[in-house]
Amino acid sequence: MFTKPAILSRNLVWILLTVIVSFTAQAGDKPMWNNKQAAVVLTYDDGVPEQLTHAVPLLNALNMKATFYLTPGFEGFKEHVQDWKKVAAQGHELGNHTLFHPCRADMPGRDWVRPEYDLSKYTVQQMVEEIELTNTVLAMLDGRQARTFAYPCGDMTAGGKSYVDEIRKDVTGARAVDAKMVKIDDVDLYRIPSYMINGESGDELINLVKQAVDQQELLVFLFHGVGGGHGINVSVDAHNKLLRYLKKHEDQVWVAPLVDVTRYLAEHRNNKQKM
């Protein structure tokens, strides 16, 4: 038979064990993405004017920041330079999408690629110089040095050679087109995956966010047209439903421009190496 002090001691041990187990479980579930369960990046390609009319106003109303990948050689940029300058002043990232959006014409379905912008005929140096010049153009609008890059058409080679390593000095990260999510310690900063959105419903977009939260992963959306303006398009209703859901769940989801996410990832890795 246990004495009263022995029973008390036994109960105290159980309490301590419970606390330790609970603390360990909580530590394992600690939010990894800027104290949130997941990170979501909203990216918009090609400077489509409908992005200015249909996406930017709601982003600003919700105090939500995004990344707009611009190609200065496109009409959507040249005709709206002052608008894009305002977008930068509102806290959004102006991302680098090259001057002329060169893509490989030797890929299936690429008969639309103009010969002078055939990436399969570029040299790596030509591509690097085009990216560097685009950085200069964008810096004239936003005064910033740090920005990210999006591979046109997802192509990572010029003249048959990879140019990925050559751009590391010019951009903090690069968005690819692999449709998947990734955990914080598995992100390749120069091949960040993304989901290209084309006709999905608001519920389908929200389900991707729910999956990212459940798995504590990075989710990058890749939009082109928003309510029109591009052959790759998302409806205004679906787009807005996603944004309002993200705002409603901002306690769980960190929404930020990709340049901020790449900076956070770099700091995370540096801190981890010091431990």
- pLDDT value, residue 13: 47
Dmax of the chain from CA atoms?
A: 91
- pLDDT value, residue 30: 66
Measured distance CA(264)–CA(262) in Å, rounded: 5
- 5 within a domain of the structure (yes/no): no
- 15 within a domain of the structure (yes/no): no
- pLDDT value, residue 152: 98
Extract the tokens encoding 105.
């014409």
pTM above 0.75, yes or no: yes
Measured distance CA(74)–CA(184) in Å, rounded: 34
- 19 within a domain of the structure (yes/no): no
- 33 within a domain of the structure (yes/no): no
- 160 within a domain of the structure (yes/no): yes
* Domains of the chain: total: 1
CATH code of the domain containing 96:
3.20.20.370
User: Beta partners for 182?
Assistant: 218
- 27 within a domain of the structure (yes/no): no
- pLDDT value, residue 57: 98
- 131 within a domain of the structure (yes/no): yes
pLDDT tens series, the chain, 275 aa: 445 555 445 555 444 444 443 443 344 456 789 999 999 999 999 999 999 999 999 999 999 999 999 999 999 999 999 999 999 999 999 999 999 999 999 999 999 999 999 999 999 999 999 999 999 999 999 999 999 999 999 999 999 999 999 999 999 999 999 999 999 999 999 999 999 999 999 999 999 999 999 999 999 999 999 999 999 999 999 999 999 999 999 999 999 999 999 999 999 988 888 77
- pLDDT value, residue 19: 42
25, 10, 14, 42: which is closest to 212 by C-alpha? 42
- 176 within a domain of the structure (yes/no): yes
What is the crossing angle of helices 202-215 and 236-248, to 10°?
30
- pLDDT value, residue 3: 53
* Domain of 61, in residue numbers: 42-274
As to burial, measured by CB atoms within 10 angstroms (0-12 exposed, 13-18 middle, 19+ buried), residue 235 is middle
